[in-house]
Structure 1
């Protein structure tokens, strides 16, 4: 993270993009296609402290947007979601994640094609991993019943997150008529207590 990123505030709520975050909060990283619409989905949720977009899961340090778009760095367009678990549960966040995109499409979401648009969940603790894997299993069953193929979402411990360029942060708040390709399957995700 560069000095400029460390000093950025969220365009919508004014909280620091890079922290420090409140001690009780947790962070999870989610990718579900183009990160502009994905980020807006999560910043609107009550209990989310801050969101930021970036690049994750690739093999190049500090990639640029152009490099990620080439597909050669292996990164996904990801969203950092920092939230207060006393106000919103990880299960609730994951319900939004699963329902608002098609996790069966592999390296694409709709018209957005390439490994940078793949579906990922990058957890940050063992407790998060258990919740993520349970939600995956539950939604897999729902999708199968709905006639969809298997989930292709990559699930693993969070690798290094590289903040995207400033103009990408909260892009759809700055550009309300900007592109958002999010489209769910229409299959509901139900989890115990969520």
Structure 2
């Protein structure tokens, strides 16, 4: 999924695409791996984490493999265009990033383990890209769903920055802020690598431990 024309910066209000009032596409009913609903909040006491670390196909697989995950989905968040399509996100004019939404049981999978998985599976110093995937939709982003997640995410960034600096990397560019709205991506993107085991979506881990 490499397109050289994609915008390296977030669009201003005059350039942002208008979007639409309702979702323009369908989303799958059941998760192909967990068997639980794709659109779900999970049982009582479960939490939701939203993370963006590059191409969402491979990253969804990374998270659905973690013990304690109830369901995952891929979608768009962090921008301004309501109910965007994948093609619109690819223009760089929605402000959205490709993200993974993880519904998890915190008694089995602490949020800190979500953060460890996030930091260790991409290069958070690359700005508006991951490897050859260039554009604002590939930026590193943590969108939190509670005050506790926000505090933990900020603390984890500072901790990982020290590790990255010691390893010779530059400043972390990860955007960390509360989630506004999450939009589910099209059905064919959900659990993409379960449907297409040979699909392209490389990880860009630095090898620096959290």
CA contact (8 A) 1:76 1:115 kept: yes
Could you tell me how far 1:20 is from its partner in structure 2? Answer: 4.2
Q: Distance in 2 between matches of 1:117 and 1:80?
A: 15
TM-score by length of 1: 0.94
1:43 maps to what in 2?
64
Shift of 1:14: 1.0
Matched residue count: 188
Q: How far apart, in 2, do the equivalents of 1:4 and 1:135 lie?
A: 35
Secondary structure at the counterpart of residue 200 of structure 2: coil
Deviates more, 1:163-172 or 1:88-97: 88-97
Look up the match of 2:15: none
For normalisation by structure 2, the TM-score amounts to: 0.87
User: Matches of 1:186 and 1:14 in 2, distance apart?
Assistant: 32
Query: C-alpha deviations, 1:25-84, integer Å up to 9, x for none?
Result: 000100000000110000000001111000001111000000001111110000001110
For the pair 1:26 / 2:47, whether they are aligned, the reply is yes
Equivalent position SS for 2:117: helix
Within the alignment, does 1:102 sit opposite 2:123 as a pair? Answer: yes
Q: CA deviation at 1:23?
A: 0.9
In the TM superposition, what is the alpha-carbon distance from 1:19 to its structure 2 partner? 1.4
SS at match of 1:141: helix
Over residues 127-176 of structure 1, what are the superposed CA-to-partner deviations in whole Å (9 max), with x where a residue is unaligned?
Answer: 11111111111000000000000100000000210000000000001100
**Contact 1:32 1:120 (C-alpha < 8 Å) held by counterparts:** yes
| Structure 1 position 4, deviation (Å) | 4.1
Aligned residue number for residue 111 of structure 2: 90
Please, what is the CA RMSD of the aligned residues? 1.3
Q: Distance in 2 between matches of 1:20 and 1:117?
A: 25
Q: Return 5+ residue gaps in structure 1 as ranges.
A: 190-194
CA distance in structure 2 between the partners assigned to 1:26 and 1:187 by the alignment: 27
Alignment partner of 1:181 out of 185, 202, 208: 202
Partner of 1:149: 170
SS in 1 for 2:150: helix
Equivalent position to 2:85, from 35, 52, 64: 64
Q: Report if aligned partners of 1:33, 1:181 keep a CA contact under 8 Å in 2.
A: no
- Is the counterpart of residue 160 in structure 1 residue 181 in structure 2? yes
CA contact (8 A) 1:47 1:87 kept: yes
Q: Which has the higher helix share?
A: 1
